[in-house]
Amino acid sequence: MNIRPSVMRAPYSPLSRLLAGSVAILALPVAQATEGGGSSYPMGAENYMTGAMPPPGFYAQVFAERYSADNLRDNSGHDAVEHFDLDAAVVAPRLIWVTEQKVLDGNLAFHLNVPLVDLKVEVNDQHQRRKGMGDVIFGPALGYHYSDKLHAIYALDIFAPTGRYDRDDLANIGRNYWAVEPIVALSYVDPDGLNLDVKLMYDFNARNPDTDYRSGQEAHADYSAGWGFGNGWVVGVGGYIYRQVTDDNQNGDTVDDNKGRAFAIGPSIKYSDNSGWFVTAKWQQEQAVRNRAEGDAYWLKLTVPL
């Protein structure tokens, strides 16, 4: 079966749409829904402390992820192709600047995230590998500390189409369109007890000019829940919830039966040091997937004050 987008320039079936570059998938990391079965945001990237803004200063973060999937699900949850294999390795350095400036009584901050991607895709008898910089993420944020344990961040992330994209490729490390994502992140932090984190996001996607395809709006959340033992360690679970809210559109026509959804969960841990750095790690497995790749991911995030 030839699944390359170059043979699908007129309206085509939902299955063909899912296959057409089913891994134009990564901005930072994984395989997910909408055009090509992908999303700009790397689902499940965040973990503990996601809503707790640090004091003013500069901070370096490094996200590392390994994602693999051997199932591509259709709208009914069945295998969309006979053979599918995806493997992605991502390292994404991130610079955070928390300023001294107050806006609406919140601490103003900015960040820049630059993903470096190694992506391999195999579908039936076709395979391809691409390496390089993915789509850069940047934006402002406001941080609030409602108590010594309850914290919040309100932010707006912008995804720039900086990653390599070719509509005739099987594997793309860029989405080829801009996206905007409002964010609300909340953290309840207790070194000697309950730790809860949720990052709520909603994506507005621009049109891909090479395919005249506009992916639908997406609602999703990263979450974690754990218990702190008072010695820097927190142990629990984490993952994400994803739901595509509106239909895709191509050439002015609505794309039916193509909305993605997924749920992921797995063990999650954190270790923090008194000097201010901390590291989180988790493994998450995707379930109840529709119109997306289904696999599992290993995540590592290191945060260091500069």
Q: In this structure, is residue 18 part of a structural domain?
A: no
Q: Which residue in the block uniquely carries the two structure tokens 């506009």? A: 214
| pTM confidence score | 0.89
Contact 99, 109 (CB under 8 A): yes
Residue 122 lies in a domain: yes
Question: In this predicted structure, which of 121-130, 154-163, 186-195 has the lowest mean pLDDT?
Answer: 121-130
Is 24 in contact with 36 (CB distance < 8 Å)?
yes
The predicted model gives 90-110 an average pLDDT of 98
Examine residue 2 and state whether it is found in any structural domain, yes or no.
Answer: no
The dihedral region occupied by 192, where left means phi > 0, alpha psi between -120 and 50, and beta the remainder, is alpha
Pairing between β-strand 233-244 and β-strand 261-272 as defined by DSSP bridges: antiparallel
In a domain, 144, yes or no: yes
Where in the sequence is the domain holding 188, given as residue range(s)? Answer: 25-305
For the chain, give the number of residues. 306
- C-beta atoms surrounding 11 within 10 Å: 12
Per-residue pLDDT, 35: 84
DSSP state, residue 53: P
Q: What is the mean pLDDT of residues 144-161?
A: 98
Q: What is the pLDDT of residues 232-285, one digit of tens each?
A: 999 999 999 999 999 999 998 999 888 999 999 999 999 999 999 999 999 999
Query: How confident is the model over 74-89, as pLDDT tens digits?
Result: 999 999 899 999 999 9
Instruction: For residue 69, tell me if it sits in a domain.
Output: yes
Cα separation, 300 vs 222, in Å, equals 14
In a domain, 14, yes or no: no
At residue 36, does pLDDT exceed 90?
no
Quick check: is 212 in a domain?
A: yes
Which pLDDT does position 25 carry in this prediction?
35
Number of domains in the chain: 1
Q: What is the DSSP letter of 73?
A: B
Question: Mean pLDDT across the stretch 285-306?
Answer: 97
User: Residue 290 is inside which H or E element, if any?
Assistant: strand 278-290
- Determine how many CB atoms are found less than 10 A away from the CB of residue 83: 12
Nearest Cα residue to 158 out of 201, 119, 199, 117: 201
| In a domain? residue 1 | no
User: Residue 105's domain is classified under what CATH number?
Assistant: 2.40.160.40
